Amino acid sequence: MTDDMASKEKEQDGIGICYKTGDIKDLAKKIKICLNLKRKNKLFEKKRLNRIKLKYDYKVISDNFLSICKNEINKDLR
């Protein structure tokens, strides 16, 4: 991923690796790192996938939001 703000946040969450925008040599270096990581560990282990799902899956996000809204409505009704 390019090194923009959103991509850097994903990188911190363990989703991929950023390269310097426009730097082909850095991109090639990061691709080699990804290939080596994939060979060593399986780049996308189950724990990491669950974290990705919790943070970026629209269904999970909307379900959490609806739950928060329902809780707040119930508080007001009491």
3-state secondary structure of 13: coil
pLDDT digits (tens, 9 = 90+) for 15-61: 789 999 999 999 999 999 888 877 666 655 666 777 777 778 888 88
> Is this structure's pTM higher than 0.85?
no
Assigned token pair, 73:
């409505």
Q: Cβ(8)–Cβ(16) under 8 Å?
A: no
Tokens 């290939």 belong to residue: 35
